[in-house]
Amino acid sequence: MVNMHALPPSALRGEGMTSQRARDRLVAKLAEEGIRDERVLEVIRQLPRHHFIDQALHSRAYENNALPIGHGQTISQPWIVARMTEALIEHGVPERVLEIGTGSGYQAAVLAGIVPTVYTVERIEELLRQARRRFRQLGLDNLRSRHDDGKLGWASEAPFDAIILTAAGDRVPAPLFDQLKPGGVLVAPVGSPSQQVLVRMRKDDDGTIHREDLGAVSFVPLLGGIG
């Protein structure tokens, strides 16, 4: 779980729209909207989402909305973070998870509150630098990060029990399936900018991929290269 003692006092205390009461209201809303996994809800209850966005947006941190984080990227809507995490762990908590698209670091931090080891890859160096600072302040010592093209995954640490993508492409890049263990699960948004669906894919022992659609979503595009 999140090491609350490692947080700066201002993050723990919170006031008004960043208080614990605001987090509790958010969790209640997520539960009303179908999030059932108590492990996911409790991590979101503890984790200071305002710590992952610009101070000018702190008053909106516990709205159930995506918010800008610069570089054309967003911190995902809390319901989406919760749903993707729930889908990833529904049939058992994976030991090692690879996240593609660190962004603000919020999704990785939620995962790190549940999963033994999280690996996260971000193509935009400035976003990764900020996320790493947040991880240190939160005391997340079970999280490893890398500046690289997320479409390539993290081959030197493969295979992974599960993989999660926080950006959408027309298809999941082939190297990611190669880095997923037999029996592993991959959760990702897939589709065009105007029509995306959240999918959960399972890899059989023979390499066959089974796809399950989980509903319509909207994510920033999955881009290659580094910046």
Active site residues: 76
DSSP state of 132: H
How far is residue 132 from each of residues 112, 113, 171, measured CA to CA in Å?
Answer: 13, 16, 28
Within 10 A of 219 (CB to CB), how many other CB atoms are there?
A: 22
Strand partners for 120: 99, 145
Q: Comparing C-alpha atoms, which of 74, 24, 76, 82 is closest to residue 48? A: 24
Task: Provide the pairing of β-strand 160-165 with 143-147.
Answer: unpaired
> How far apart (Å, rounded) are the C-alpha atoms in residues 165 and 150?
9
- C-alpha 186/C-alpha 163 separation (Å) is 5
